[in-house]
Structure 1
Amino acid sequence: MRCAYFDAEVCRSCTWMGRPYADQLAAKQAHVETLLPTGPQWLPPFASEESGYRNKAKMVVTGTAAKPTLGILDAAGHGVDLRECGLYGPSLQAAFPVLAAFVAHANITPYDLAARSGELKNLLVTQSPDGELMVRFVVRSQEPVTRIRKHLPALLDALPSLRVVSVNLLPDHKAVLEGEREILLTTQETLRMRVNDIDLHLRPQSFFQTNTLVAAALYRQATQWVEDVDPGSVWDLYCGVGGFALHVADEHRDVVGIETSVEAVASACLSAHGMDGVRFEAADATAFALAHDAPELVIVNPPRRGIGAELARYLEASSASHVVYSSCNAESLARDLAAMPSLRPARAQLLDMFPQTTHYEVLTLLERA
């Protein structure tokens, strides 16, 4: 894949841009195998599309209300427009000029980082497998909310695929994407993400994997391993919107999903409506585990920091016979595995969630020795 932004050195976020994709995949496989040297049976790596794979755009808004820039900030804090970034598919790219025109039409002043003035900080856009959109306006205060609401019918007409619109309030001057408070502006509250014939419902503050194609493969492989073990009870810790739990749910199996985000749990509960044997709770994964006896199999999908020493010690001492560990950081995975020596990697697969970068997902099935 070639990228004009990368070649012009205005965006270097994709550090492996221009490197042959086969070489990228081989280098990632070699890297993870050095970190997990205990010899799991490696499945062939799952390759992604090289471009157009991102289902979400996190665009920093700069410039003026009349002429907004959607993209990133450079090292000097100036806006770089990335509307034609090749990581987004054509239909997602097509939404950016419409959204920029809406910012101008509604007269929403972009936030000026240096002056600490203005309103609109970020535009967060998510696209479902069916091409439907969710748009979130991250603003400094409620001042522009009335104007956004007033002009929203025009935006909905201009973007027929738009289903969910919200405003996120981020009053603090700090380098984060969003704040805690969300104001929903549409009747529809969730974006339907249909993955492997399962409807996952994504609320504005819920997390979902960046690469839908690879996420679907991740869920399929984990489900196959769970079916091979055929446990009667399963925990899905750090469950997000319930992707793993809903895929392995069975009326003869007790499945519990645990996630700290109340929004994500609400999404998971909506997706699970009418399904037997699966339920979700909003709780800290480690605290929940420490307060309960372990099931037969535990699925963990933690953030980059991993599950941590306390949960690793719990799993090591527990009665769980298997753990399915999905990791976006193989280094923290290796650290966690070292703390669980009796749970040995039996099978593993690299799934390339993030082409053109050094990052990837690795799925590992651990068996009790």
Structure 2
Amino acid sequence: MQCDYFDAGACRSCTWMGRPYAEQLAATQAHCAELLAAVPTAADLAWLPPVPSREAGFRSKAKMVVAGTVEAPTLGILGPDGRGTDLRHCGLHTTGLHVALPVLAGFVTRAALTPYDVPTRRGELKHLLVTESPDGELMVRLVLRSREPVARVRKHLPWLAEQLPGLTVLSVNLQPEHKAVLEGEVEEVLTARATLPMRVGDVRLHLRPQSFFQTNLAVAAALYDRARSWAAGEGRVWDLYCGVGGFALHLAGPGRQVVGVELSAEAVASAEQSAREQGLGPGQVRFVAGDATAWAVGAAARGEQPPDLVVVNPPRRGVGEELAAWLEASGVRQVLYSSCNTASLARDLAAMPSLRPVRGQVLDMFPQTAHHEVLVDLRR
């Protein structure tokens, strides 16, 4: 992939930009294999061919820092001097995002949303977070320093909806502090609809403004499909760190009882809505808002036996010592571990020697970078 921003030195976020894509995949596979080869129980791990991505136009979410002025806003990143670099034509974004971002820049001007200036700590609009669904619908989130501009956002929302017919959800998020935190805790939805439907394979998920979701939908669909094909037989399933229910809702079906556990109440509400639309009752799949480790470790106190299968999809730090120790001692027959950090995956596998990796696969969620997703099938 060729990128004018990268060639001009304006953005170097994609550290592998310009590197042949086949070479990127091979390097990622070699890196994962090397890290897991150091785990004693992984000697018989069989690697499937990596799942590739499109090199460009794959990213369905844009996280844009807003800078510049009301009359000439920039949507992109901040340079070392704290000033904005406009990246609204980034080649990673989907076609719908390419269409939406210039319109949103016009909305900034029309609604007089003063971009936040980091060096002087003045202004209101900090970030624009835009997500496109596979059906071309859009969720737009405005991260503001205060509620001061909200009335103007409401006033000009009809104009924005006319310019962007796919606009489904628009919300404002309040992040008043001057620190490197993308968003705050307070969110206010200004549209009639509060969720963005996201079709992934044969499952329709719902995304609320503060819910995490994979940005590469084609590869996410491959990840969920692979987990479904690797899941052994019927029985009870726990999906820990379930997010909006991607794994849980793909694994739900005849002969299975699935429980998804997620810290974010917003994500759980999204998962529950998706389950209802799929006609899945509480006896087939249910979701719990809570800490995944505490919920699993507390199973015995609730009088609940460990399940037959556990799916874990933790943040970059991995599942950690406590949950790894519980999985090791639990007697669970199979664990499907989806990781975005092979180094923490290797540490966790070393702490669970009774659960042996039998197969693994790299899924390239983030072309042009060293970031990746890897799915490993563990059997007791």
**One fold, TM greater than 0.5?**
yes
2:368 maps to which residue? Answer: 356
Q: Distance in 2 between matches of 1:189 and 1:257?
A: 22
1:291 matched to 2:303? The reply is no
The one-character-per-residue Cα deviations of 1:100-155 (angstroms, maximum 9, x if unpaired) are 00010000100011111110000000010111100000000000011101110100
* Residues 212-361 of structure 1 mapped to structure 2, 5 A cutoff: 212-226=217-231, 229-273=232-276, 274-276=279-281, 277-292=284-299, 293-361=305-373
User: Could you tell me how far 1:77 is from its partner in structure 2?
Assistant: 1.2
- Unaligned segments of structure 2, at least 5 residues: 300-304
Maintained 8 Å contact 2:169/2:194: yes
Q: Distance in 2 between matches of 1:153 and 1:55?
A: 24
Q: Distance in 2 between matches of 1:76 and 1:299?
A: 43
- Unaligned segments of structure 1, at least 5 residues: none
AA aligned to 2:263 is T
Q: Distance in 2 between matches of 1:151 and 1:132?
A: 19
Maintained 8 Å contact 1:238/1:301: yes
Secondary structure in structure 2 of the residue aligned to 1:154: helix
Maintained 8 Å contact 2:234/2:255: no
The one-character-per-residue Cα deviations of 1:1-47 (angstroms, maximum 9, x if unpaired) are 01111111110000000000000000000000001112311111000
Q: Distance in 2 between matches of 1:171 and 1:43?
A: 47
User: Could you tell me how far 1:253 is from its partner in structure 2?
Assistant: 1.0
Residue 212 of structure 2, aligned match among 207, 211, 214: 207
Q: Distance in 1 between matches of 2:234 and 2:32?
A: 28
Identity over aligned residues, as a percent? 66
User: Could you tell me how far 1:231 is from its partner in structure 2?
Assistant: 3.5
Q: Distance in 2 between matches of 1:32 and 1:223?
A: 22
1:146 maps to which residue? Answer: 151
Secondary structure in structure 1 of the residue aligned to 2:53: coil
* Residues 16-27 of structure 1 mapped to structure 2, 5 A cutoff: 16-27=16-27
User: Could you tell me how far 1:91 is from its partner in structure 2?
Assistant: 2.1
2:191 maps to which residue? Answer: 186
Maintained 8 Å contact 1:305/1:332: yes
TM-score using structure 2 length: 0.95
Residue 47 of structure 1, aligned match among 43, 47, 52: 52
The one-character-per-residue Cα deviations of 1:284-340 (angstroms, maximum 9, x if unpaired) are 000000111320110000000100000000000001000000000000000100000
Secondary structure in structure 1 of the residue aligned to 2:65: strand
Q: Distance in 1 between matches of 2:331 and 2:17?
A: 45
1:93 maps to which residue? Answer: 98
Q: Distance in 2 between matches of 1:263 and 1:360?
A: 26
AA aligned to 1:169 is L
Q: Distance in 2 between matches of 1:295 and 1:301?
A: 17
1:105 matched to 2:117? The reply is no
Residue 84 of structure 2, aligned match among 47, 71, 79: 79
What is the total number of aligned residue pairs between the two structures?
366
Residue 70 of structure 1, aligned match among 75, 81, 85: 75
